[in-house]
């Protein structure tokens, strides 16, 4: 028998989809320049082009932190569901 660990295909869960959306949203928002390449509406004298980008700095931080927390929670849940291995390499009953 081989001592190589069993390789399983990646699992797509709703939590992982939310994590991906949290990390993907800032890229879409910043790369779609036509949506914010305008001077109006101004906020306290700052053109929209600038304050929109600065707002996404804060939004991206919050989304990345959310993705991190969800990922940690998902990893803890997966570890708690994993079968327990006995000392000789077999699955404990």
Residue 7 belongs to some domain of the structure: no
Residue 41 belongs to some domain of the structure: yes
Enclosing domain of residue 42:
30-75
Residue 20 belongs to some domain of the structure: no
Which pTM value belongs to this model? 0.73
Per residue in 4-21, pLDDT tens?
777 777 788 899 999 999
Q: Alpha-carbon distance 49 to 46, whole Å?
A: 8
Per residue in 59-90, pLDDT tens?
999 999 999 999 999 989 888 886 666 566 55
Helix, strand, or coil here: 46?
strand
Residue 63 belongs to some domain of the structure: yes
């Amino acid at each position: 028998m081989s001592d190589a660990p069993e390789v399983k295909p990646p699992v797509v869960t709703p939590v992982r989809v939310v994590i991906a959306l949290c990390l993907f949203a800032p890229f879409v928002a910043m790369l779609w320049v036509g949506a914010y390449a305008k001077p109006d509406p101004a906020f306290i004298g700052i053109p929209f082009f600038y304050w929109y980008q600065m707002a996404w700095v804060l939004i991206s931080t919050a989304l990345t932190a959310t993705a991190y927390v969800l990922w940690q929670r998902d990893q803890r849940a997966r570890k708690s569901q994993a079968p327990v291995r006995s000392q000789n390499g077999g699955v404990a009953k």
